[in-house]
Each structure stands twice: as C-alpha cells, then as structure tokens.
Amino acid sequence: MQSLLKFYGISKAQDVVQEDGTVVHTITGVSTNEAEDGDHEKCLYLPSKPAYQKYAEQALRISTNAGMKPSLGGIRIMHSINLGIGGKISSMQFDDQNRQIEITVIPKDEEIWRQVLNGGFLGFSHAGGYAFRKCSVDHSDIQKAGNFCDRCQKNVVVEYAVDPLIEISLVDMPSNPDAIISSIKGLEAFPFYRSNGSVELRKYKTGSVSVAVPALPDLAKFSHGTVQIDIAPESVAGSTIKMLRDAVKYEHLAHEAGGREDSAHITVRYGIIPGSDTAAIQDFIAKQPPFEIELGPTDSFTPTANSDMSAPLYVSVISSDELNAINGGLKDAAPDSWKAADFDYHPHCTLAYVTSPDVANLYTKNAMASGLKYEVTEMSIRPNEGTPITVKLAGEKKQAAAKPPQEVKVEPKVKKAAKTKRKAGEDLTADAFLLVGDPQDPSTWSLPWKFSTEAKTKRHLANALARFNQVEGFSAEEKAKAWKKLLRLCKKYGIEVSDEKQPAKAATVIEGLVAKAMDNRKFPQEMRKGMFEVAWLARMIEDLGYLRQNARFEAEYEHDDSPLPAELQNNLEGLIDTFLSMATEETEELAAA
C-alpha cells in the first residue's frame, strides 16, 4: 500500500462562546474535497467518508467512556511526534452536496492560536493510506507512484480514496487550490470572527512569519547554464525530496536567495557560457551509459556571496565514479563552452536556502532519503536562455571483469539458536504460542501460554480465552485447531470455560463494565477509582496503537525495514495482557461490591 500525505487550507478563525460563558478559539478548514490538488490527484468524497467517520467515532468513544470532554481526534503539528499535539477536533461536518469534509479544531494553547493568526500555519493535512488509486479517464487502477496511466499512455489526474486515515495535522503550506486561505489568493487577509459577533478582515502581520510575496532573487550570478539530472517527481526519491523541501518553514527561508527549490535536480556541472554551441556536450552525454546514484542525509553549505550569504540546505548524494567522471568529461568535451569552476564538485540536491547556519542545523542530519537509489537514464542541458535539451544516456554499460573461480570451503554446520519472542518479561519459543504462522518469523506468533511459572501460564491462558476472537491473519482451520488446544490446556490447569463451542468475548464484557463504572451516580468512589485506572490504561494502549500505526506508515514510506513497528507491536501485546488482568481483577471487585 502506498503512503498518503495531503494538504488543505484553513478557511476561518473564530472565537466561540460556550454554554458556560467561556470563550474558546476555533480554527475551521477543509480536511478533504474533490478538487484537484498540487499532485494532480482528487480525493473522492463518498469512498473516503467511512475512514473519517471511523476516525472520529473511535476518538469520541474513547474520550467519552473515559469521562473526558468529547473529542473527535487529536491534531498533530507538522505530522511530527516530537512536536506533540496541537489541539483537538471539536466538529467534523460531512457536506454530501459539495462533497467535502470540513473540520473545526480547538487549538491546544495561545501559542498555536498566535501562529495561525500570524500565518505560521496555513492549513490541515491528512495522512494515511490509499484504499485505491484510479485513472480519472478510464478508471483503471494505477498501482505505481505518480500519475502515469498505462492504458492512456500519459499522465492523468488520479482519483483516490483514503483508508486508513491515520492522523490529521496542522501544517505550514497546503496544496489544495480550493482550500487555501484568501491571503494566498491576493486579498492578503482572512475572516476573524469575534465572540461578540463582529467580523474583522484579519491581515497578516509582517515579520518573521509574513506571507508577503518575496522579492525575486538576483539572477545575475546565475547567468550561466548547467547540465543536471532531473529527478522524476513521481519517483520515491522525488517524492521524498519534495517532503523534505516542503518541511522547511516559511519563516526560515532566505527569499532573497531563492527560498525553496522548484524541482528536485542534481547539478552535474555548472558554467555553460551564454551563446555556446552545446552539440559537443550533447554528444558526450549521449555516449554515457545509464548509472545509479544513492541519496544520503540532509546537510548544508557554509554561506557565501554566491548564496547571498544564506545557507543552502541540501540532500547529499553519495559520490560515484560516474558522476565525477562526467563532471570532468564535460569540460574536456567542450573546453571553450565552460567558465572556470568556482569550487570543487560536490554532488547534491538543493532543497532550499535558509537564513543562517543555525537555522540550517534544524534540518540537517535528516536520514529520510538516506539509502534511496535513483536510476539515471537521461540528463538535461539548461542554458541560461532558450529551451532545455534532454539527452538520453545511450552508452553501453561496462561488463564487470569475470572473477576467477574460488575454492569452495565446506564449513561445519552450526546449529542455529532457536527464534524467540519476548512476552511478559520472558523469551518464548514458537511452541509457547497457540497460533504460529511461520516458526522462523516471531512477528506471526500469537496468544502466548507457556511461561516459567504456573500462575503466569494460567493468567495467559485466561487472557487467550478473552482475546481469541480478536486475533487475525490465520485461517479458520488454524484457529479451530488452536481453540481445541486451548480447551485442553484450560482443563489441565483448572480454568473454567463457559462455552466450549464459541470463544468467550470477555473483552466486550469488560468494555461495557468500564463504561458503566464511570457513572458517578451508581458506584461508590473506590469502585470508580479502580475502573478509572482501567480506562486510563486503555487510553495508554490506544495511544501506543496510534504510535505503532505511525511507525508502520513511516517504515512503509521509507522502505527501511525498521524494527520499530514489530517492537511496538510486542509492547502493545504485552500491555494488552496487563490490561486484561487488571480489568478482570477490578470487575471481579466491582461484581462483589
């Protein structure tokens, strides 16, 4: 499943008087609609609506059952776990007629509210997965990233649906053209609705967060042409570079130096003298064979006069023999067409120009693009005037020299250590689990039962009874076999099973008791306290579940085989075991009260 990250703008900021007379700030904007966005994609309203409803209903159920003020979900800041929560969703309106979803958010504090009024945050972004991606012309599936339709043989507008919806976040730059606040469209203001009913056309303040149109950079120092590698925006490398580029905050950009780069490219050589004949350069490029480059972490250059004393922020490129050879070969192929080099060649992909090295340090050492590889099959010649020329790399790849046969050594077989999975503080082998998908893959093991003490074994067998219906990823035959084994073990250890034909749904019973126990009118204070702690642990488990989902989303996007999702899954399962034990204990006390 491809990852999804979309941006939509804020439409209104408003002070609202609540029933108790207090005034709260609210931020309203479109979370999704069917307008074509900057990626030439349309989010279809009807098939995406269930994912939003599920997201809101789950948050509402958790918050109300726990005795909290109702919430339809938290709002993150720039999709970052480190920056914390920016507020909560208080309203989610489904507009079937206009096919859009509008959300209203209560910001967490005055600082978030100030940044919205000053233009620091311009919109919302939803993140999650694609339920499907289809061509808007013939409705065929588009499985690959990008907008190219194999049937139409051209780039098209892609229609998609969201599922799952993982999170919604405040962001500094939306991309949906219908949802951007009015100042971006030239009015330089947006409506601010006060609690007394008056409306002020709120202009953006000047200063570090100003959204005024920046002055164009001085192009005199860029008066020479280049040869460069244009990275396809629909590629994994291209989309990752775009995310890194868009993450640079507006107030950090050095606009006089150019601000953000418009496109992802790697300069192979700079300095084509204006008016030069590029035929020799084209011929040299055409003779080069295709090759592969590898991206590295973000870094920055020291400010110079060439960068208007701003700090260029870039994605590093692992230097290759091919890049260095082409850089030098271009000069040799057409010596009279190039100006003298001002600096040593250092292949990189510029993201943006920021105001200072200290600001650049906020964005360096980001490894999101590290290890991503890109196949170079063409280069472009971009004179300072005239039309760019794209040249295919048509040379033949050099065959690696054949290696002499090596003597095969037969190593004595060493018995591999048994695979284990850590549960409840113990490293368990596959035979300690009721359900095992692959004995060599602990992530497919579920429902642990065999522990070092009889007490832990019995407790986990009871937990297995309660959780049996929740386990997924196994066939009906596998679950039936595991159920029979569970019944035999329960009889062996003296655990009563109410219904041998169907797994007990203890979790559902517990959930109902938790909700009832939160009613202050029915149960004594000590009982409410015990069940509140159960609900507290449930919220912690829910938060850990969101964190695990975010880790899965990030690992899928970065393709880095991160161990974090599996580790979080193990921790989540361990906490669920603890939760069931606590809930059982507290509900037994409740029943006896």
**Pair (148, 238) in one structural domain:** no
**Pair (260, 379) in one structural domain:** yes
Closest-CA residue to 317 (of 393, 272, 382, 264): 264
The dihedral region occupied by 585, where left means phi > 0, alpha psi between -120 and 50, and beta the remainder, is: alpha
pLDDT value at position 188? 37
| 387 falls within a domain | yes
| pLDDT bucket at 142, cuts 50 / 70 / 90 | confident
**Pair (368, 458) in one structural domain:** no
Q: Which of 43-52, 515-524, 527-536, 575-584 has the lowest mean pLDDT?
A: 515-524
Print burial letters for 209-231: b (CB count within 10 Å at least 16), e (below 16).
Answer: bebeeeeebeeeeeeebbbbbbb
**Pair (549, 450) in one structural domain:** yes
Give the chain's domain count. 3
| 408 falls within a domain | no
| 211 falls within a domain | no
**Pair (432, 301) in one structural domain:** no
CA 329 to CA 320: how far, in whole Å? 14
pLDDT tens for each residue of 244-268: 988 888 778 886 666 788 789 998 9
Domain boundary pick from 137, 171, 203 = 203
pLDDT tens for each residue of 191-215: 444 444 444 444 433 332 322 333 3
**Pair (240, 104) in one structural domain:** no
Q: Which of 89-93, 228-232, 398-402 has the lowest mean pLDDT?
A: 398-402
| pLDDT bucket at 122, cuts 50 / 70 / 90 | confident
**Pair (323, 189) in one structural domain:** no
In this predicted structure, the answer to whether residue 190 has a pLDDT above a threshold of 50 is no
First vs last C-alpha separation in the chain: 50
Q: Which of 131-140, 409-418, 513-522 has the lowest mean pLDDT?
A: 513-522
Q: Which of 94-98, 175-179, 201-205, 496-500 has the lowest mean pLDDT?
A: 201-205
**Pair (112, 226) in one structural domain:** no
**Pair (18, 121) in one structural domain:** yes
**Pair (183, 324) in one structural domain:** no
What range does the domain containing 555 cover?
A: 421-592
| 397 falls within a domain | no
The total of other beta-carbon atoms located within 10 Å of residue 462's CB is 21
pLDDT value at position 211? 29
CB 461 within 8 Å of CB 490: yes
pLDDT value at position 341? 77
| 547 falls within a domain | yes
Domain boundary pick from 153, 178, 203 = 203
| pLDDT bucket at 307, cuts 50 / 70 / 90 | low
Domain boundary pick from 203, 228, 259 = 203
| 400 falls within a domain | no
Beta pairing class for 41-43 and 158-171: parallel
What is the pLDDT averaged over residues 146-167?
Answer: 87
The CATH number given to whatever domain includes residue 260 is 3.90.1140.10
Mean pLDDT value across the chain: 77
What is the pLDDT averaged over residues 382-405?
Answer: 77
**Pair (165, 269) in one structural domain:** no
- All residues at 6 or more sequence positions from 36 whose CB lies less than 8 Å from its CB, including other chains: 42, 157, 177
pLDDT value at position 411? 59
**Token pair recorded at residue 436:** 């095992």
| 18 falls within a domain | yes
| pLDDT bucket at 407, cuts 50 / 70 / 90 | low
| 570 falls within a domain | yes
**Pair (361, 446) in one structural domain:** no
The more confidently predicted of residues 430 and 466 is 430
